[in-house]
């Protein structure tokens, strides 16, 4: 991302697109893990929450907020892989 710029340019958004899509897919796949204590309906509800978060976050244009959202997604993915449910989707 460009240094000294507050708002994301089209180039910044294009550069992050692959990473964001990858995180999105990994989060949805991780919610299917048998180590999570969720029923089928709860899994579908959590997936819907993840989709809603990503849809709302897609409107974000601040570089700092985009970095924070990606960091939160990385952290949530690591928790899901450990068999824990992150707080923001509980």
Distance CA(51)–CA(29), nearest Å, equals 12
Distance CA(7)–CA(51), nearest Å, equals 24
Coil, strand or helix at 62? strand
Residues 88/46, Cβ–Cβ less than 8 Å: no
* Residue 57 pLDDT exceeds 90: no
Residues 81/27, Cβ–Cβ less than 8 Å: no
pLDDT tens-digit readout, 25-51: 999 999 998 888 889 999 999 999 999
Coil, strand or helix at 37? coil
Distance CA(38)–CA(53), nearest Å, equals 20
pLDDT at 3: 59
Q: Which residue has the tokens 């180039």?
A: 11
What rounded mean pLDDT belongs to the chain? Answer: 84
For the entire predicted model, the pTM comes to 0.79
């Amino acid at each position: 991302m460009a240094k000294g710029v507050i708002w994301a340019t089209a180039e910044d958004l294009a550069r992050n697109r692959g990473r964001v899509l990858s995180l999105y897919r990994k989060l949805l796949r991780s919610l299917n893990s048998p180590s999570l204590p969720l029923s089928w309906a709860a899994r579908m509800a959590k997936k819907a929450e993840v989709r809603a978060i990503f849809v709302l976050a897609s409107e974000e244009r601040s570089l700092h907020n985009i970095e924070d959202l990606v960091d939160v997604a990385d952290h949530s993915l690591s928790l899901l892989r450990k068999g824990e449910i992150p707080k923001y989707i509980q």
